Amino acid sequence: MNLRRFNLQLFAEGEEGGAEENGNASGAEGEEGKEDDDFDTFLKNGDHQAEFDRRVAKALETQKSKLDAAHKSALATARTEAEKLAKMNAEQKEQYEIDQLRKENEELKAAQARAELARTASQLLKESQIDATTDILDFVVGSDAESTQANIAKFVGIIQAQVKAAEVARATGKTPKSYKGESKELSEMDKRIAKYKK
């Protein structure tokens, strides 16, 4: 590691003193090749090579342990499920399948009920002159008809309040500025209007 820092420092000093004159300005590819050579030189020392080998072996062993643990866990889960199914007799298997079908049926009923609530909510929003987008329906449709109707009432109230506030702001407007004090030459039309105002 210190060797690389030294090389980078040497390169920086060479750049100030004219690294191009040394013919060492071959770019990033040349630097990588040089670093590889430096690393190979670094590893020629027996102590460094032994430490490098020890660290690589330790990393490989750690990775192997993690993979073995994950494999054992997945295998144990699969074995448990297989044993559970093997212990079930025909009646238990049938009951398990019935339970799965009931669960699926309940999920389908809930999805159908939500779709029906969304249709009803869309109609109620149209009556209030609001286009029902998917985002709006996701916002107002509740778990049952009462909560959906309450959400729609709140939403319509918010929209109507915003529209009313916008209409008041538009109707109020701003008073035009008076330009009487300015020494601006009046147009012919402004002169005639001013004549009738007096």
- For 33-83, write each residue's pLDDT tens digit: 667 778 788 878 888 888 888 888 999 999 999 999 999 999 998 888 888
pTM above 0.95, yes or no: no
- Specify the higher pLDDT residue, 87 or 4: 87
Six-digit token pair at 42? 């670094």
pLDDT band at residue 13, thresholds of 50, 70 and 90?
A: very low
What's the confidence (pLDDT) of residue 29? 56
- The span from the CA of 96 to the CA of 14, in Å, is 77
- Answer yes or no: is pLDDT of 12 > 80: no
Three-class SS state of 149: helix
Q: Average per-residue pLDDT in the chain?
A: 78
- Specify the higher pLDDT residue, 197 or 6: 197
- Answer yes or no: is pLDDT of 19 > 80: no
What's the confidence (pLDDT) of residue 20? 44
136 contact partners, CB below 8 Å, separation of at least 6: 125, 130, 155
pLDDT band at residue 15, thresholds of 50, 70 and 90?
A: very low
**Interval 104-142: pLDDT, tens:** 999 999 999 999 989 988 988 888 888 888 888 888 888
Percent of the chain residues topping a pLDDT of 70: 75
